[in-house]
């Protein structure tokens, strides 16, 4: 018996060899409890009116003021809203479970139409993030786990697909200053990506439990929502985003 354990031990050590990656920690400067928003899953900042839009796992879209007081709730509900993006006069929301994209008017949150997208992976590991890549003029939807970046045209017809191996999971995505910022929920990191190749240029760790969505305000300060804590966390600008 002791022999068999001794034989197995070196294999365990050999298998345990891995590799690391440089990560810069950024400090949280505050948080706010989102009492009126159950299970917040993504957030986006509207530079036109200074409002935030937050979506919930309960299939709801909320419009909030700058201190996250709920101003409006979209009448049309989905099943499992996980990602949100603003483009032109519309707000696009990813409903993860049924694999659908809801389109709302930015002005009054009235529902416009739905698009069907396709992801065959686990029911709860599909498109938790949606953003617009202005460099390639396409939407990017990212399957959460294992992370796969899928590009869609403006009518949500699939263009191409990239396996993303730099994180265990991706739960949020946001376009800012000509870069795509991805948020890993399992690793609690923000990954700054080249918008053409999606190669990671830098990585920052955030002190947040299960972060699900991120946004930048007009000054480039980061806001991150967490479903598990029902909070929005405040961070200052990333060292690169103020360059």
C-alpha span between 175 and 109 (Å, rounded): 22
Instruction: Name the minimum Å distance from CB 178 to other proteins.
Output: 29
Candidates 120, 155, 219, 243: give the one binding other proteins (CB under 8 A): 120
Q: Does 101 bind other proteins (CB under 8 A)?
A: no
Instruction: Name the minimum Å distance from CB 16 to other proteins.
Output: 4
Burial of 189 (0-12, 13-18, 19+ CB in 10 A): buried
The residue among 63, 61, 134, 141 whose CA lies nearest residue 100 is: 141
Q: Decide whether 5 or 67 has the Cβ nearer to other proteins.
A: 5
Q: Decide whether 81 or 132 has the Cβ nearer to other proteins.
A: 81
C-alpha span between 205 and 203 (Å, rounded): 7
DSSP-derived pairing of the beta strands 200-206 and 24-26: parallel
Cβ-proximal residues to 20 (8 Å cutoff; 6+ apart), any chain: none
Q: Does 7 bind other proteins (CB under 8 A)?
A: no
The residue among 186, 226, 209 whose CA lies nearest residue 43 is: 226
Cβ-proximal residues to 48 (8 Å cutoff; 6+ apart), any chain: 106
Binding-residue pattern over the window 150 to 169 for other proteins, x denoting contact by CB under 8 A: ------------------x-
| Binding residues with other proteins: total (CB under 8 A) | 44
Q: Does 73 bind other proteins (CB under 8 A)?
A: no
Q: Does 207 bind other proteins (CB under 8 A)?
A: yes
Maximum separation of any 2 CA atoms in the chain, in Å: 72
Cβ-proximal residues to 58 (8 Å cutoff; 6+ apart), any chain: 38, 39, 77, 81
Q: Decide whether 12 or 67 has the Cβ nearer to other proteins.
A: 12
C-alpha span between 47 and 147 (Å, rounded): 29
Token reading at 108: 């009054």
Candidates 3, 6, 10, 12: give the one binding other proteins (CB under 8 A): 12
Q: Does 8 bind other proteins (CB under 8 A)?
A: yes
Cβ-proximal residues to 87 (8 Å cutoff; 6+ apart), any chain: 132
Instruction: Name the minimum Å distance from CB 105 to other proteins.
Output: 22
Q: Decide whether 12 or 88 has the Cβ nearer to other proteins.
A: 12
Q: Does 15 bind other proteins (CB under 8 A)?
A: yes
Q: Does 115 bind other proteins (CB under 8 A)?
A: no
Binding-residue pattern over the window 20 to 49 for other proteins, x denoting contact by CB under 8 A: x------------x-x--xx----------
| Residues β-bridged to residue 176 | 179
Q: Does 113 bind other proteins (CB under 8 A)?
A: no
Residues found near other proteins in the complex (CB under 8 A) = 1, 4-5, 8, 12, 15-20, 33, 35, 38-39, 79, 97-99, 119-126, 145-146, 168, 185-188, 205-210, 226, 228-230
């Amino acid at each position: 018996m002791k022999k068999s354990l001794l034989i197995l031990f070196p294999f365990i050590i050999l298998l345990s060899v891995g590799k690391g990656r440089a990560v810069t920690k950024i400090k949280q400067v505050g948080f706010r409890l989102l009492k009126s928003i159950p299970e917040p899953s993504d957030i986006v900042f509207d530079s036109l009116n200074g409002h935030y839009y937050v979506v919930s796992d309960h299939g709801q879209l909320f419009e909030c003021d700058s201190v996250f007081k709920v101003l409006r709730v979209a009448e049309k509900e989905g099943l499992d809203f996980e990602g949100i993006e603003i483009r032109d006069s519309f707000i696009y929301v990813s409903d993860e479970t049924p694999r659908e994209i809801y389109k709302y008017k930015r002005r009054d949150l009235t529902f416009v139409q739905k698009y069907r997208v396709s992801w065959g992976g686990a029911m709860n590991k599909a498109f938790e993030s949606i953003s617009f890549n202005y460099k390639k003029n396409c939407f990017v939807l990212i399957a959460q786990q294992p992370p796969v970046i899928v590009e869609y045209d403006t009518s949500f017809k699939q263009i191409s697909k990239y396996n993303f191996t730099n994180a265990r999971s991706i739960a949020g995505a946001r376009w800012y200053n000509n870069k795509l910022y991805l948020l890993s929920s399992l690793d609690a990191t923000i990954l700054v990506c080249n918008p053409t190749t999606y190669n990671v240029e830098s990585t920052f760790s955030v002190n947040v439990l299960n972060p699900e969505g991120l946004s930048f305000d007009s000054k480039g300060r980061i806001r991150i929502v967490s479903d598990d804590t029902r909070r929005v966390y405040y961070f200052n600008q990333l060292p690169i985003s103020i360059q």
